Amino acid sequence: MTQAAVLARRRERLPFSHDERRAWLFLAPVATTLLVVAVFPIVYSLYISFWSIKLTRPHRQPFVGLDNYAQLLADPEFWHAVGRTTSFTVMAVTAICVIGLAVALLLNETFPGRKALQALLLVPWAIPYVANGLMWKWIYDSSYGALNGLLFQLDFIDKYMVWLGDANKTLPLIANAFVWKEVPLAALLLLVTLKSIPADLYAAARVDGAGALQRFLHVTLPALRPGFMLVIIYETMTAIRHFDLFFILTEGGPGDASHVLSWRIYVETFRNLSFGTGAAMSYILAIVTFALAYGVIRALGRNVR
Amino acid sequence: MSAAGPAGATGHVAGERHRRLRIAALWIASLIFVGYVTAPLVWLVSSSFQSEREITSKPPHWIPHEPTVQNFAAIFAAPKKDVTYETRRAADPASGGFIPSTAANLLPAMANSLIVAISVVILNLLVAIPAAYALAKIRFRGRDASIYAILTTRVIPDIALVVPFFLFIRNLGLLDTLASLIITYLAVTVPFSVFILTNYFEGLPDELDKAARVDGCSRLQTLLHVYVPLSLPAIVAVILFAFLASWNEFLLALMFTQTPNSQTLPIIVASFTSDFTISFSFINAAGVLAIIPPVLIALLFERYLVSGLTAGAVKG
């Protein structure tokens, strides 16, 4: 009998007993943590959303069932916030896809300095949203900002303009700050997808006489589909719940021009101290996110297995 | 060259022209890319070295004409002064104008951020490594369901956790403590840590387990002596992601912290931005301090971060 065969038999005899129990023992810390910090809060949040809890009125907190939800759905302000969240998300995700694709195509080429560019790419991704927010707030500043300065020096404008304070420009400008920070992740996800395209496909297309543009349209773009799906779903989830930039850049203003859902949740909960409606609103947001995430989780779960 | 004949020569010239065009195109694209990424940051850094007088020039001085470190000096050598309503309203003339006396809060806030981030990193490792091992290497009923459950918690929007967390933390009496942040940040970081590690462990051969078993190792010993040393890249990635997420987190910290005792760097920095009496050159200096650690991490550990970010993106 060879040594390998002996080992194989020894292995078979070694019982993997208690494994079921061992597995749960190993999972216990994570399970406990997530039960406390994720599952419990999200269930508790549902519970809160059925009550009228106002910290301004601590002793009377009646059960109101679905009233909080009914009130929200009947409130035109809520739908305006949904509309603003949607337009912010659509603008941001579209720009992220376009710029992310351009960056990914650049980094997919081989040239000296490519590695340095890829390291640089991670910088916007890594910095805090608060720093990103103050950076753009200063760039957009209507009196001394860089945007005014640059456009003025280039003669695009004859006098300094109001940027964030202009209700029509607020959302696109906040979206621009958001895009700058989110492009790196999108570009990386598209880049790995690009790298996974077999070279044979390009060779075959070349043999068939396809030019560069045709190869891009008929080989690259279709092959990028899974990467784009991931980017679109992930960035949509991130954009509809985004809060930090709205806080730093505009605090919902001017007027209510940047009153998106997440900002309304904050105002309702921590300024109006109406926890019941705040919880109901955040629950609606959570359900939408879950619906979107379902696709991602399916994909990621499949990969782990 | 001329001996190659007309056809060969033109072919070569065309090839050469094509190559040059490609290089030129790549150069231009790279320049645009570098400009897009760095221009806002360079402007942030440049204006943090300007005085209030210089920062308000029109058009802006792209490069400071009279660079000054007064903003940073105010942060690192902030004189102890009482903040009264009057000194605040008067834009703190005592401190040279437009630099808030609250500048002294920045360094303690940075320390708070560090304590929170390091604690979150350690807890992440303790909790995620055994879980990832079980998910990757032990066959048991409920394994797939566990993976889905953990991934699901990853997508809960933090804003949906804010209301219940606030009541929960308040009832525990933990408002305005670092503990409240450390606990709640686990919700935002642990699922991703488990995901990265599970992914990595999956890629290691099952034979490792069996060999260790033959040598008489228990499951725990196998994990500690075989898997952990082999998984350093994934562990480094987990450390970096948990650190960055905690260092950058804003929303939860905004809700749970109230005084400089527990306020983290993003909260203090944000508090400057909403005060119109504070010079933007000073705010930018605070911003520069907040981005130094993440920028260093991004540049030094790019490889680990990229592998973590793209884990599982294409394998399916």
Residue B80 forms contact with A (CB below 8 Å): no
Question: Which residue in the set A37, A106, A126 is minimally distant from B295, CB to CB?
Answer: A126
Please say whether the beta carbons of B286 and B75 come within 8 A. Answer: yes
> Do A103 and A245 lie in a common domain?
yes
Asked if the structure places residue B32 within a domain, the reply is: yes
The whole-angstrom distance between A279's CA and the closest CA on chain B is 6
Is A109 contained in some domain? yes
Residue A6 lies in a domain: no
Give CA separation, B271 vs A9, A140, B15, B250, in Å. 67, 19, 59, 12
The token duo for B151 is 């991934």
Whether A156 and A63 share a structural domain: no
Rounded to a whole number, what is the distance in angstroms from the first to the last CA of chain A? 36
Same domain, B121 and B22: no
Nearest to A117 among B33, B40, B41 (CB): B33
Which residues in chain A have their CB less than 8 angstroms from residue B133's CB? 26
Confidence band of B10 (pLDDT split at 50, 70, 90): low
A197 and A136 in a single domain? The answer is yes
Q: In whole angstroms, how far apart are CA B160 and each of A42, B27, B131, B266, B278?
A: 7, 45, 26, 20, 33
B164·A39 Cβ contact <8 A: no
Block residue for tokens 């480094």: B236
Please write the tens of the pLDDT for every residue from B161-178. 888 888 888 888 999 999
**Is B63 inside a domain boundary?**
no
- Residue B313 — φ and ψ, nearest 5°? -70, -30
- Do B243 and B122 belong to one domain? yes
Beta-carbon separation of A296 and B155 below 8 A: yes
Q: Is the CB of B3 inside 8 Å of chain A's CB atoms?
A: no
CB A274 within 8 A of CB A294: no
User: Tell me: the pLDDT tens digits for B199-213?
Assistant: 899 889 888 888 888
Residue B35, CB-side half-sphere exposure with 13 Å CA sphere: 6
The minimal CB distance from A106 to the residues B29, B214, B248 is found for: B29
Confidence of residue A281 (pLDDT cuts 50, 70, 90): very high
Q: B67 lies in a domain?
A: no
CA distance A108 to chain B (A): 11
B282 and B203 assigned to the same domain: yes
Residues A238 and A114 in one domain: yes
A300 and B195 Cβ atoms separated by less than 8 Å? yes
Chain B residues touching A141 at Cβ < 8 A: 280
B206 within some domain: yes
Tell the residue number behind the tokens 């505009």, with chain if given: A250
Mean pLDDT of chain A: 87
- CA angle A99/A166/B279 to nearest 5° reads 90
Count CB-CB contacts under 10 A for residue B144.
Answer: 13
Residue B83 resides in a domain: no
Does some domain include residue B65? no
Regarding whether B271 and B135 lie in a shared domain, the answer is: yes
**Angle made by CA atoms A122, A125, A129, in degrees to the nearest 5:** 150
pLDDT per residue as tens digits for the range B209-234: 888 888 888 888 889 988 999 999 99
- Residue A98 domain-assigned? yes
A132: burial class by Cβ within 10 Å (0-12, 13-18, 19+)? buried
Does one domain contain both B17 and B131? no
User: Is A95 near chain B, with CB under 8 Å?
Assistant: no
How would residue A90 be classed by pLDDT, with cut points 50, 70 and 90?
very high
Inform me whether the pLDDT recorded for A49 exceeds 60. yes
Give yes or no for B278 touching A (CB within 8 A).
no
By mean pLDDT, which of A290-299, B266-275, B301-310 is the weakest? A290-299
Q: Is A106 on the interface with B (CB under 8 A)?
A: yes
Query: What's residue A92's pLDDT?
Result: 97
- CATH code, domain carrying B216: 1.10.3720.10
Q: Is residue A135 part of a domain?
A: yes
Answer yes or no: do B113 and B234 share one domain: yes
Quick one: pLDDT at residue A2? 53
Give percent helix, percent strand, percent coil of chain A, each to the nearest 5: 75, 0, 25
Q: Is the distance from CB of B79 to CB of B241 less than 8 angstroms?
A: no
Q: Are residues B196 and B278 in the same domain?
A: yes
Q: Chain B residues with CB inside 8 Å of A262's CB? A: 159
Count of pairs with CB atoms under 8 A, one residue in A, one in B? 309
Can you tell me whether residue A163 is helix, strand or coil?
A: coil
> How many structural domains does chain A have?
2
Domain hosting B18: range is 2-48
pLDDT at A15 over 50: no
Domain match, A63 and A90 both: no
What's the pLDDT at A63? 86
CA B147 to each of CA A305, B96, B125, B143: distance values in angstroms, whole numbers, following the listed order:
9, 57, 17, 6
Co-location of A94 and A241 in the same domain: yes
* Same-domain pairing of A155 and A294: no
Model confidence band, residue A14 (pLDDT cutoffs 50, 70, 90)? very low
Is residue A137 domain-shared with residue A70, that is, in the same domain?
A: no
Asked if residue B166 is part of any domain, the answer here is: yes
Are residues B145 and B272 located together in one domain of the fold? yes
Residues A221, A173 share a domain: yes
Indicate whether B99 belongs to any domain: no
Do A97 and A147 share a domain, yes or no? yes
Statement to judge: residues B114 and B198 lie in one domain? yes
The reply to whether omega before B100 is within 30° of 0 (cis) is no
Q: Is B162 on the interface with A (CB under 8 A)?
A: yes
Same-domain pairing of A111 and A206:
yes
Give how many domains chain B has, as a whole number: 2
Q: What is the mean pLDDT of chain B?
A: 85
With an 8 Å Cβ cutoff, is B308 touching chain A? Answer: no
Is residue A219 situated within a structural domain?
yes
Measured CA to CA, the distance from residue B255 to residue B163 in angstroms comes to 9
Could you tell me if B44 and B165 lie in one domain? no
Using the Cβ of B18 and the Cβ atoms of chain A, whether some distance falls under 8 Å is answered with no
Tell me which of A153, A304, A305 to substitute to probe the interface with B (most B C-beta atoms closer than 10 Å): A304
Domain, as residue range, for A292: 39-74+274-305
**Cross-chain Cβ contact A48/B195 below 8 Å:** no
In tens, the pLDDT along A117-146 reads 999 999 999 999 999 999 999 999 988 889
* Residue B189: closest C-alpha in chain A: A34
Of A130, A139, A283, the CB nearest to B160: A283
Same domain, A206 and A287: no
Collect all residues of chain A within an 8 Å Cβ-Cβ radius of residue B158.
241
Residue B133 and residue B21 in one domain: no
| Nearest chain A residue to B283, by CA | A134
State which residue of chain B sits closest to A243, comparing Cα positions: B251
B109 and B43 in one domain? no
Q: Tokens 């700050």 belong to which residue?
A: A177
